[in-house]
Amino acid sequence: MSLLSKLKETLVCLKAGRVTLPYPARSRPVPPNFRGRPIFDAAKCIGCAGCANNCPAHEILVFDVCQEVRILKYLGRRCTYCGRCADVCPEKAITMSLEFETGTDRIGDLQQRLDLFMSTCQRCGRCFKEPSLLEQLQQKGYRFDDLQNERWVFRSQSYLEGEPAADDITIELD
């Protein structure tokens, strides 16, 4: 703690000059493998819901309006930018962009909603049948995630009317 060592320390810091990045004025280039916000390309999406099944935070909700229309909603609230959706997508419709400047005062600004037309047979109007019986068993069926409350629906009984999707635990704050 001698005075001389403190003076030397001061001189070293002063020689470094000013290292502050003038951030909002000028930005630094982002490293090329950076995983920013995922962008969903609706022209390529086939509505398989593989991204929704793989998302660790259950961030992508799937809702079937009718046999032909499927709504995919990416909420953007709890996304951890892991990139699993982009990895799994068979059509490469999801890209992890380089955007990270996503501060906003309404959380609804981050959502991306795709209303997709699922191809059905134009003559009979039903979905294409899987080639073998075994693959027919693997069909997941219709999905009715809760778009209003932005929640996945897990229990099969919740598809019936009148059953709550999940219970809320109340806590009292005094």
Partner 1 sequence: MLKNLCQKMFGRSLWVYHANSGGCNGCDIEVLTVLTPYYDVERFGIKLVGSPRHADVMLCQGPAMHSTAKALRRAYEAMPSPKLVFAIGSCACGGGIWHDSYSVMGPVEKVVPVNFYIPGCPPRPEAIIYGVAVAVGLVDKKTAPVQFKQLALPIPRYHPGDLRGEGELVVYEKVEKI
Partner 2 sequence: MNLLWSILCALANVAIVLLVAPLFQGVLRKVTAVVQSRQGPPVQQPYLDLLKLLGKEDIESGESPVMQRFAAYLSLATVLTVACLVPMGFAAPMNSAGDVILLIYLLTLCGICTLLAGLAAGSTYSLMGISREMMTMIALEPLFAVAIIVGVIHTSSFRLDTVLNGSVYAHGGFPWSGLVMLLVMTLSFQAFVQRVPFDISEAETELMEGPLMEYSGPKLAVFKFAQMAKLVVHSALFVALFAPWGSGLAFPLGWLLFWAKVSALVLFVTLVAATHARFRIDQAIRYFAGLLVLALAALVLAGYGL
Q: Which of 80, 89, 102 is nearest to 35 (CA)?
A: 80
27 binds partner 2 (CB under 8 A): no
Q: CB under 5 to 8 A by kind: which of partner 2, partner 1, none does 139 bind?
A: none
Contact between residue 136 and residue 130 where contact means Cβ atoms under 8 Å apart: yes
Between 88 and 112, whose beta carbon lies closer to partner 1?
Answer: 112
Q: Which of 23, 128 has the CB closer to partner 2?
A: 23
Paired tokens of 65: 């309006």
124 contributes a contact to partner 2 by CB under 8 A: no
Cβ pair 116, 73 in contact under 8 A: no
Among 100, 129, 139, 142, binds partner 1 (CB under 8 A): 100
Residue of the chain from 18, 26, 28, 140 that contacts partner 2 (CB under 8 A): 18
Paired tokens of 24: 């909002």
Q: What angle do CA 37, 40, 44 make, to 5 degrees?
A: 150
Residue 133 half-sphere exposure, CB side, CA atoms within 13 Å?
A: 0
Only one residue has tokens 């059509």, namely 91
Binding residues for partner 1, rule: CB under 8 A, are 19-21, 23-24, 27-28, 40, 42, 56-58, 65-66, 68-69, 75-82, 99-117, 122-125, 166, 169, 171, 173-174
Binding residues for partner 2, rule: CB under 8 A, are 1, 6, 9-10, 13-14, 16-20
